[in-house]
Protein backbone atom coordinates (compact mmCIF):
# COMPACT_ATOMS: atom_id res chain seq x y z
CA UNK A 1 0.00 0.00 0.00
CA UNK A 2 1.37 3.42 -0.94
CA UNK A 3 2.06 6.24 1.50
CA UNK A 4 -0.92 8.20 0.17
CA UNK A 5 -3.25 5.24 0.67
CA UNK A 6 -1.96 4.69 4.21
CA UNK A 7 -2.47 8.37 5.02
CA UNK A 8 -6.03 8.37 3.67
CA UNK A 9 -6.75 5.14 5.55
CA UNK A 10 -5.66 6.80 8.82
CA UNK A 11 -7.75 9.86 8.01
CA UNK A 12 -10.79 7.63 7.50
CA UNK A 13 -10.12 5.82 10.79
CA UNK A 14 -9.95 9.03 12.82
CA UNK A 15 -13.69 9.53 12.26
CA UNK A 16 -13.43 13.28 11.58
CA UNK A 17 -14.66 14.96 8.43
CA UNK A 18 -12.14 15.85 5.74
CA UNK A 19 -13.08 19.52 6.05
CA UNK A 20 -12.73 19.72 9.84
CA UNK A 21 -9.45 17.77 9.83
CA UNK A 22 -8.09 20.07 7.11
CA UNK A 23 -9.02 23.19 9.07
CA UNK A 24 -7.48 21.85 12.29
CA UNK A 25 -4.27 20.90 10.48
CA UNK A 26 -3.66 23.71 7.99
CA UNK A 27 -6.41 26.30 8.34
CA UNK A 28 -7.63 25.44 4.83
CA UNK A 29 -10.79 23.42 4.31
CA UNK A 30 -9.56 21.75 1.10
CA UNK A 31 -6.24 20.09 2.01
CA UNK A 32 -7.50 16.53 2.55
CA UNK A 33 -9.93 16.78 -0.35
CA UNK A 34 -7.05 17.76 -2.64
CA UNK A 35 -5.05 14.74 -1.44
CA UNK A 36 -7.99 12.46 -2.22
CA UNK A 37 -8.12 13.98 -5.71
CA UNK A 38 -4.48 13.03 -6.27
CA UNK A 39 -2.70 16.29 -5.48
CA UNK A 40 0.63 16.13 -3.68
CA UNK A 41 0.50 18.19 -0.46
CA UNK A 42 3.20 20.59 0.55
CA UNK A 43 5.53 19.19 3.19
CA UNK A 44 4.28 21.59 5.88
CA UNK A 45 0.69 20.51 5.18
CA UNK A 46 1.70 16.86 5.39
CA UNK A 47 3.45 17.44 8.72
CA UNK A 48 0.41 19.32 10.10
CA UNK A 49 -1.95 16.49 9.15
CA UNK A 50 0.36 13.93 10.76
CA UNK A 51 0.40 15.99 13.98
CA UNK A 52 -3.41 16.04 14.12
CA UNK A 53 -3.43 12.26 13.57
CA UNK A 54 -0.94 11.79 16.40
CA UNK A 55 1.98 10.93 14.12
CA UNK A 56 5.39 12.53 13.95
CA UNK A 57 6.99 12.97 10.55
CA UNK A 58 10.76 13.45 10.85
CA UNK A 59 12.03 13.89 7.34
CA UNK A 60 15.60 14.42 8.47
CA UNK A 61 15.84 10.95 9.99
CA UNK A 62 13.60 8.81 7.83
CA UNK A 63 16.53 7.24 5.97
CA UNK A 64 18.94 7.43 8.90
CA UNK A 65 16.98 6.77 12.09
CA UNK A 66 18.75 7.69 15.29
CA UNK A 67 19.47 4.75 17.60
CA UNK A 68 18.41 5.02 21.22
CA UNK A 69 21.32 5.90 23.52
CA UNK A 70 22.76 3.11 25.60
CA UNK A 71 20.82 2.62 28.82
CA UNK A 72 17.72 4.42 27.54
CA UNK A 73 14.39 2.81 28.44
CA UNK A 74 12.93 0.50 25.86
CA UNK A 75 10.56 2.18 23.43
CA UNK A 76 7.09 0.71 23.28
CA UNK A 77 6.66 -1.35 20.14
CA UNK A 78 4.77 0.50 17.43
CA UNK A 79 1.52 -1.03 16.19
CA UNK A 80 1.71 -2.70 12.78
CA UNK A 81 -0.06 0.13 10.97
CA UNK A 82 2.45 2.67 12.32
CA UNK A 83 5.40 0.48 11.31
CA UNK A 84 3.99 0.04 7.81
CA UNK A 85 3.33 3.75 7.51
CA UNK A 86 6.93 4.53 8.50
CA UNK A 87 8.25 2.06 5.96
CA UNK A 88 6.09 3.55 3.24
CA UNK A 89 7.18 7.06 4.17
CA UNK A 90 10.82 6.01 3.83
CA UNK A 91 10.15 4.50 0.43
CA UNK A 92 7.79 7.09 -1.02
CA UNK A 93 8.78 10.40 0.57
CA UNK A 94 11.53 11.01 -1.97
CA UNK A 95 8.95 10.63 -4.75
CA UNK A 96 6.52 12.88 -2.90
CA UNK A 97 9.11 15.61 -2.39
CA UNK A 98 10.39 15.36 -5.96
CA UNK A 99 7.02 16.54 -7.23
CA UNK A 100 6.33 20.24 -7.44
CA UNK A 101 5.48 21.74 -4.06
CA UNK A 102 3.05 23.99 -5.90
CA UNK A 103 1.01 21.13 -7.30
CA UNK A 104 -1.49 21.70 -4.51
CA UNK A 105 -3.14 24.97 -5.47
CA UNK A 106 -2.82 27.30 -2.45
CA UNK A 107 -6.18 28.05 -0.88
CA UNK A 108 -6.95 31.74 -0.65
CA UNK A 109 -8.57 31.54 2.79
CA UNK A 110 -7.62 30.18 6.19
CA UNK A 111 -10.22 29.32 8.82
CA UNK A 112 -9.01 30.01 12.37
CA UNK A 113 -10.77 28.32 15.27
CA UNK A 114 -12.60 30.43 17.86
CA UNK A 115 -11.83 29.06 21.34
CA UNK A 116 -12.35 29.98 24.99
CA UNK A 117 -12.74 33.59 26.18
CA UNK A 118 -9.83 35.44 27.74
CA UNK A 119 -10.75 37.21 30.98
CA UNK A 120 -9.48 40.71 30.30
CA UNK A 121 -10.72 42.08 33.63
CA UNK A 122 -9.19 39.29 35.66
CA UNK A 123 -12.41 37.33 35.95
CA UNK A 124 -11.89 33.61 36.37
CA UNK A 125 -12.45 31.72 33.16
CA UNK A 126 -11.96 27.98 33.12
CA UNK A 127 -10.02 26.70 30.09
CA UNK A 128 -12.24 25.20 27.42
CA UNK A 129 -10.77 23.62 24.31
CA UNK A 130 -14.12 23.37 22.52
CA UNK A 131 -14.22 25.11 19.14
CA UNK A 132 -17.07 27.63 19.04
CA UNK A 133 -16.71 28.44 15.34
CA UNK A 134 -14.30 29.86 12.79
CA UNK A 135 -13.24 33.25 11.47
CA UNK A 136 -11.89 33.32 7.93
CA UNK A 137 -8.78 35.30 6.98
CA UNK A 138 -7.32 35.63 3.51
CA UNK A 139 -4.05 33.81 3.04
CA UNK A 140 -2.43 36.93 1.60
CA UNK A 141 -3.26 38.89 4.78
CA UNK A 142 -1.82 36.18 7.03
CA UNK A 143 1.31 35.93 4.89
CA UNK A 144 1.74 39.70 4.86
CA UNK A 145 1.72 39.78 8.66
CA UNK A 146 3.93 36.71 9.07
CA UNK A 147 1.18 34.62 10.66
CA UNK A 148 1.01 30.84 10.43
CA UNK A 149 -2.54 29.45 10.77
CA UNK A 150 -1.35 26.44 12.78
CA UNK A 151 0.06 28.82 15.42
CA UNK A 152 -2.94 31.18 15.63
CA UNK A 153 -6.01 31.01 17.83
CA UNK A 154 -9.05 33.28 18.05
CA UNK A 155 -10.30 33.96 21.58
CA UNK A 156 -13.07 36.19 22.88
CA UNK A 157 -12.43 39.06 25.28
CA UNK A 158 -14.39 39.15 28.53
CA UNK A 159 -14.41 42.26 30.71
CA UNK A 160 -13.74 45.98 30.32
CA UNK A 161 -10.21 46.38 31.67
CA UNK A 162 -8.64 46.52 28.17
CA UNK A 163 -11.24 48.89 26.71
CA UNK A 164 -11.25 50.79 24.45
CA UNK A 165 -8.49 48.81 22.72
CA UNK A 166 -10.12 45.43 23.39
CA UNK A 167 -13.74 46.00 24.40
CA UNK A 168 -15.85 43.35 26.08
CA UNK A 169 -17.08 40.80 23.54
CA UNK A 170 -14.42 41.51 20.92
CA UNK A 171 -12.43 38.74 19.21
CA UNK A 172 -8.65 38.71 19.18
CA UNK A 173 -6.17 36.76 17.07
CA UNK A 174 -3.42 35.35 19.27
CA UNK A 175 -0.10 34.32 17.71
CA UNK A 176 1.13 31.45 19.90
CA UNK A 177 4.46 31.57 18.09
CA UNK A 178 5.27 34.87 19.85
CA UNK A 179 5.80 33.88 23.46
CA UNK A 180 8.70 36.25 24.14
CA UNK A 181 7.48 39.26 26.12
CA UNK A 182 7.95 42.65 24.50
CA UNK A 183 7.32 45.85 26.42
CA UNK A 184 4.16 47.67 25.43
CA UNK A 185 2.65 44.72 23.53
CA UNK A 186 -0.54 42.89 24.47
CA UNK A 187 -0.32 39.23 25.45
CA UNK A 188 -2.69 36.48 26.53
CA UNK A 189 -1.53 34.66 29.66
CA UNK A 190 -2.47 31.34 31.17
CA UNK A 191 -2.77 31.73 34.94
CA UNK A 192 -4.04 29.63 37.81
CA UNK A 193 -7.24 31.71 37.69
CA UNK A 194 -7.77 31.27 33.95
CA UNK A 195 -6.90 33.29 30.87
CA UNK A 196 -5.88 36.96 31.00
CA UNK A 197 -5.23 39.46 28.23
CA UNK A 198 -3.10 42.44 29.26
CA UNK A 199 -0.47 44.84 28.05
CA UNK A 200 2.94 44.17 29.61
CA UNK A 201 5.41 46.70 30.97
CA UNK A 202 8.62 46.51 32.98
CA UNK A 203 8.75 48.10 36.42
CA UNK A 204 11.67 49.96 38.00
CA UNK A 205 13.13 46.70 39.28
CA UNK A 206 13.12 45.03 35.88
CA UNK A 207 10.10 42.81 36.61
CA UNK A 208 6.99 42.59 34.46
CA UNK A 209 3.65 44.21 35.31
CA UNK A 210 0.27 43.79 33.68
CA UNK A 211 -1.24 47.03 32.41
CA UNK A 212 -4.91 47.64 31.67
CA UNK A 213 -5.72 50.11 28.88
CA UNK A 214 -8.81 51.18 30.81
CA UNK A 215 -7.57 53.84 33.27
CA UNK A 216 -10.14 52.69 35.84
CA UNK A 217 -8.05 49.55 36.41
CA UNK A 218 -4.72 49.63 38.22
CA UNK A 219 -1.65 47.78 37.01
CA UNK A 220 -0.83 44.51 38.79
CA UNK A 221 2.38 42.52 39.22
CA UNK A 222 3.09 39.47 37.10
CA UNK A 223 0.98 36.57 38.46
CA UNK A 224 2.96 33.73 39.98
CA UNK A 225 3.04 30.68 37.72
CA UNK A 226 1.62 32.55 34.71
CA UNK A 227 2.66 31.35 31.25
CA UNK A 228 2.53 33.26 27.99
CA UNK A 229 -0.11 31.85 25.63
CA UNK A 230 0.74 34.23 22.79
CA UNK A 231 0.76 37.81 21.53
CA UNK A 232 -2.36 39.63 20.33
CA UNK A 233 -1.95 40.54 16.65
CA UNK A 234 -5.48 41.52 15.58
CA UNK A 235 -8.79 42.53 17.11
CA UNK A 236 -12.30 42.38 15.68
CA UNK A 237 -14.94 44.44 17.42
CA UNK A 238 -18.41 45.82 16.85
CA UNK A 239 -18.67 49.51 15.96
Tens digit of each residue's pLDDT (9 = 90 or more) over 125-165: 554 556 667 788 888 888 888 888 888 888 889 899 999 99
pLDDT of residue 125: 52
Tell me how far apart the alpha carbons of residues 121 and 115 are, in angstroms, rounded to a whole number. Answer: 18
Q: What is the mean pLDDT of residues 107-116?
A: 64
Whether the Cβ atoms of residue 211 and residue 217 lie closer than 8 Å to each other = no
**pLDDT tier for residue 102 given thresholds of 50, 70 and 90:** very low
Question: Is it the case that residue 98 has pLDDT exceeding 50?
Answer: no
Share of the chain above pLDDT 70, in %: 67
Phi, psi (5° rounding) for residue 43?
Answer: -60, -40
- Going by their DSSP bridges, the two strands 152-158 and 109-119 should be labelled as parallel
pLDDT of residue 51: 77
pLDDT of residue 100: 37
Q: What is the mean pLDDT of residues 79-106?
A: 49
Tell me how far apart the alpha carbons of residues 193 and 112 are, in angstroms, rounded to a whole number. Answer: 25
Nearest to 43 by CA among 30, 29, 25: 25
pLDDT of residue 201: 96
pLDDT of residue 95: 47
Q: What is the mean pLDDT of residues 62-70?
A: 41
pLDDT of residue 181: 95
- What is the overall mean pLDDT for the chain? 75
Whether the Cβ atoms of residue 34 and residue 104 lie closer than 8 Å to each other = yes
Q: Report the range out of 16-30, 35-49, 76-90, 173-187 with the highest average pLDDT.
A: 173-187
pLDDT of residue 135: 82
Helix or strand (DSSP H, E) at 43: helix 43-52
Whether the Cβ atoms of residue 230 and residue 188 lie closer than 8 Å to each other = yes
**pLDDT tier for residue 93 given thresholds of 50, 70 and 90:** very low
Q: Report the range out of 105-109, 129-133, 214-218 with the highest average pLDDT.
A: 214-218
Tell me how far apart the alpha carbons of residues 197 and 199 are, in angstroms, rounded to a whole number. Answer: 7
Q: What is the mean pLDDT of residues 67-77?
A: 45
Q: What is the mean pLDDT of residues 115-134?
A: 59
pLDDT of residue 235: 92
pLDDT of residue 175: 93
Tell me how far apart the alpha carbons of residues 11 and 97 are, in angstroms, rounded to a whole number. Answer: 21
Tell me how far apart the alpha carbons of residues 163 and 119 are, in angstroms, rounded to a whole number. Answer: 12
Tell me how far apart the alpha carbons of residues 39 and 32 are, in angstroms, rounded to a whole number. Answer: 9
Nearest to 234 by CA among 184, 185, 190: 185
Amino acid sequence: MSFRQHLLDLIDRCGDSDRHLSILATGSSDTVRNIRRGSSPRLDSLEAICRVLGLRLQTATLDNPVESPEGAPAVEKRPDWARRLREDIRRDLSLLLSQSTDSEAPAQNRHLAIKQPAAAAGDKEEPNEAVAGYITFTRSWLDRHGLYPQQCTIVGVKGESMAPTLPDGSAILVDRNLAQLEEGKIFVLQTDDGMLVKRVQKDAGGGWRLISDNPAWDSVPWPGGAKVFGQVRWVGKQV
